[in-house]
Structure 1
Amino acid sequence: MLYSLLSVMAPMLLGAQVLLTLVLVKGDICPGQRGRIHKVLPVLAILWVAVASLKVEAFLVVFALLYFYSQVQTKKTRQEGPLWVMYLADGLALAFVAILITETVNWSASLSLLSLIFLLGALLGHLLLTIARTRLQAFHRLLPVMGILSAMIATLCIVPYSYQLDAQSLSALTQPLLISFSLLVIGIVVWCWHLLLVKPVSKGQLLLAQTLILAAATGFHHLYL
């Protein structure tokens, strides 16, 4: 199960990195917001250190992120810093995830991992942007919608895989599958809670959704092993 957890963390981190890079490059953010976004980058680096227990190549992403962090301000700043280093970190993360995808046992598992870039990545990015107190309100609506669509793809990937199993194997996987699916549905509802109640999003809400959906994704990935 630990292998599955670390495997799904890689696409999650890739998605979050790309989202933060997009905000830093294209986002209409003030100097205070830019500094606060810089401040959350070590979170990604720490999580990549954990992923490096799968493959040491993940340390390349860690070094790139930490170098970029060392070159930027974490207070109010208009300086973008060496964005080419951030692009490099994103490219290295993409290559790492691509390797994981090519090593999966079948195409269903590959597509499932790919969908997690948009599901878990969007959620972690949403959480980090909320922690950084960005005023990009559109993301509070768009990212949950992206999550719903990605969750549907991740769930549908199980269907063709299940047809390849014999009756005994399918019976053994039924309960774990239902548990993972339940966690996913609850996590999506929690993620979208601010939209349902028309209220501001909270860090606690997103952290709970992150925990639930990460657990669900780990369970789904474990089914393919």
Structure 2
Amino acid sequence: MTELLPARLFAPLALTAVAALGLLVWVLKNGDLCPGQRRRISDGAMSVWAVFGLALMLGVEAGVSVTMLWLGGVTLAAGLGTVLYQARMQGKRSLDVSWHYPALILAVVYGALIGWRMGPGWALLAAGAGGCVFAHLIMVRARHRLQAFNVLLPLAGTAFGVIWLLALVVKAAGLSEPVQNAMVMPFVQVSAAVLLGALVWWLPLLRKEQTKPPVIAVATLLILGALTLGQGMIWHMAGNIS
């Protein structure tokens, strides 16, 4: 099963990075940010490109097409170039948000191609769940003061995760009984990861505490793990693996 891991991780990681980048660019464009917050959130895009680069390396192992690898490489170069150019700026100065647009456009195209291969519905749900939690992690690490996002991102991410689970149930309902029986344990694992991740994500709000990066990091790992397991279930139900 380990040889299938790169293929299972590739799409969730890439879609998570693309969605998180889109959310961060939206915040930079529309959020009421001081120069310090703007600079820290912009610098946080480096984490997005690190995950995107990891997805590309996994794509090589997974046998992704050369076209996808080249497009991903150009996208990664554009994104890293923007972040590294900003790193040369002193103090709290940061590049205008429009500097991130070329890499964002390329990333969206890349995500759309993944969605075409994976299925638009599955891709949207994976991007929504993973992107919300990862963007929230970056914003919390950047010490943002947009308190509404501490509620909106967990709410949206949890909704995407729950819909992901429901979609798996609907997909499995139309399969034969032996296949359904084989899906029970993986579905329990996916459900546990999603629900536990959501609980950890919501814990600071429920306890009325300040949201801290380690908590969101745990939620991120759990949700990405759920998406990876869910990817394996989708393949199994589609008959792509035995």
TM-score by length of 1: 0.91
Aligned partner of 2:18 in structure 1 is 14
- Counterpart code for 2:144: T
Distance 1:148 1:39 in 2: 26
Give the conservation status (yes or no) of the 8 Å contact 1:39–1:74.
no
Aligned partner of 2:208 in structure 1 is 198
Q: How big is the shift at 1:67?
A: 1.8
Aligned partner of 1:121 in structure 2 is 131
Q: Does 1:76 align with 2:92?
A: yes
Within a 5 Å distance, the mapping from 1:142-181 to structure 2 comes to 142-181=152-191
- Counterpart code for 2:91: K
Selected match of 1:110 from 104, 107, 120: 120
Distance 1:136 1:84 in 2: 21
Give the conservation status (yes or no) of the 8 Å contact 1:65–1:85.
no
Distance 2:222 2:85 in 1: 35
Q: Does 1:136 align with 2:146?
A: yes
Give the conservation status (yes or no) of the 8 Å contact 1:64–1:85.
no
Structure 1's unaligned 5+ residue stretches are none
Relative to structure 2, which stretch is displaced further, 6-15 or 68-77?
A: 68-77
- Counterpart code for 1:80: L
Match of 1:9, SS?
A: helix
Relative to structure 2, which stretch is displaced further, 188-197 or 65-74?
A: 65-74
Aligned partner of 2:72 in structure 1 is 58
Runs of 4+ residues over 6 Å off in structure 1 = none
Q: How big is the shift at 1:146?
A: 0.6
Structure 2's unaligned 5+ residue stretches are 60-67, 236-242
Q: CA RMSD in A?
A: 1.6
Selected match of 2:32 from 6, 9, 28: 28
Percent of pairs with identical residues: 26
The count of aligned residue pairs is 219
Match of 1:76, SS?
A: coil
